[in-house]
Amino acid sequence: MSVSRDIVASWRRPRQVLRSMLNHGRREDRAIAFVMIACFLMFVGQWPKLSREAFLDPSVPLQARLAITFFAMMMVMPLMLYVFAGISHLLAKLFRGRGTFYSARLALFWSLLVTAPLFLLNGLVAGFIGQGPASDATGLVTLLGFLVIWLACLIEAERAPEAVTEGV
> Where are the chain's structural domains?
3-158
Position 162 pLDDT exceeds 70: no
Q: Is the pTM of this model over 0.75?
A: yes
Question: DSSP labels for 26-68?
Answer: --HHHHHHHHHHHHHHHHHHTHHHHHHHHHH-TTS-HHHHHHH
DSSP 25: -
Reported confidence tier of residue 91, pLDDT bands at 50, 70, 90: very high
Burial tier of 158 (Cβ tally within 10 Å: 0-12, 13-18, 19+):
buried
Average pLDDT in the 50-60 region? Answer: 94
Of the candidates 25, 37, 39, the one whose C-alpha atom is nearest the C-alpha of residue 103 is: 25
DSSP E strands, the chain: none
